[in-house]
Amino acid sequence: MRSIRFNAKLAAAVLAMVRAAFPADQPSASPTDLVRRTVQKEIAAGNGDTKVMFMDRKETPHGGQTKLMVETREGMAGMTVAFDDKPLAPEQRQAEEAHLAGLVSNPEQLKRKDKTEKEDAERITRIVKALPDAFLYQPDGTEMGSPAVGKAGDQLVRLKFRPNPEYSPPSHVEQVLTGMQGYILIDADKCRIAKIDGTLGKDVGFGWGFLGHLDKGGHFLVEQAEVANERWETTHMSLSLTGRVLLFKSLNIKSDEVFSNFRPAPSDLSFTQGVELLKKQEAELAQNQQQSTPDSPK
């Protein structure tokens, strides 16, 4: 009898977990169904014309770098405003302005930059599209959202994932997914990804082994949040990957980026206008920092 009571309690606990992960108004929803709907929403959201301005702080083994960034119709414009949280020295600021001026005055270089950014975005889109088929998912409870992950106060569905042995990546871009395992947090009501935390459980080759491989143990983390009314943005990204490229060149990527201070930007902003906007924001930032420094001259 004790065993029967124990099994009944265990079954009730499992049922409660499943009900928490999948609301009653979606009784037939499976983890893969939820991921598929969420991916569709993410792709649709990424095709919008709304543009933003934000701050990007990136930490690598070489130090920290803070940039003001703005999306334009000709690609992303960025201006470095600090190294290791210290404002730029005069010569560093001159070099940064010269770099931006070079992009503005060189249409071909600007086109190449924009082309590279679009290719990177396409790779990310292809990986996101592959999520429903590349992994097997199982419910793993729920977590509460926060200002930096999902939406504060919202309940997020947590799903564990592992490679789907029947998945065949269509290109080397999706090949990395064949060795990834971890968990994903989804806002089921809004169908948005709040977090993906993945680790390579094995070495993964790309380009059928001729181009190189990524080592087992590599880690990948992306967090998203609602930064404005129904507008979601990436708030945190962390990469820790090692391996080899072209069989002989070592690959070592280690970075941690935090994205913050999101504000809307004009949808038809040109790159030149974006640079001018960055300069204006940088001047305001420098003035605010000077005013907040107790020892600043009066």
Residue by residue, DSSP assigns 156-203 as EEEEEEEE-TT---SSTTGGGGGGEEEEEEEETTTTEEEEEEEEESS-
Least confident of 148-152, 180-184, 242-246: 242-246
Q: What is the dihedral of CA 10, 13, 17, 19, to 10 degrees?
A: 110
pLDDT (mean) for 109-128: 91
CA distance from start to end of the chain: 82
pLDDT for 283 equals 84
- Residue 80: CB atoms within 10 Å: 18
Q: Which residues pair with 250 in a beta bridge?
A: 244
Q: How far is CA 93 from the centre of its chain?
A: 28
Is the pLDDT score of 55 beyond 50?
A: yes
Q: Is the dihedral of CA 119, 168, 160, 144 positive or negative?
A: positive
Residue of 172 and 236 predicted with greater confidence? 236
Where along the chain do its domains lie?
Answer: 27-48+106-267
When computed from its CA atoms, the radius of gyration of the chain, rounded to whole angstroms, is: 23
- Residue 246 CA to residue 249 CA, distance in Å, equals 6
Q: Which residues pair with 86 in a beta bridge?
A: 83
Supply the angle between the helices 271-292 and 90-104 in degrees, to the nearest 10.
160
Q: What's the rounded Cα separation, in Å, for the pair 269 and 15?
A: 51
CA 148 from chain centre, in angstroms, equals 12
Closest Cα to residue 194, out of 239, 227, 163? 227
Predicted confidence (pLDDT) at residue 37 exceeds the cutoff of 90: yes
CA dist., res. 139 & res. 135, Å (int): 13
pTM (two decimals): 0.83
Q: Give the pLDDT confidence score for residue 249 in this predicted structure.
A: 80
- Which residues have C-beta within 8 Å of that of residue 153, sequence separation ≥ 6? 144, 145
Residue pair 159/35 in contact (Cβ under 8 Å)? The answer is yes
60-115 confidence digits (pLDDT tens): 999 999 999 999 999 999 999 999 999 999 999 999 999 999 999 999 999 999 99
Beta bridge partners of 155: 144
CB contact at 8 A, 177 and 134: yes
Residue 12 has pLDDT above 60, yes or no: no
Per-residue confidence (pLDDT) for residue 192, from 0 to 100? 96
- Tell me how far CA of residue 167 lies from CA of 177, 205, 219, in angstroms: 9, 15, 21
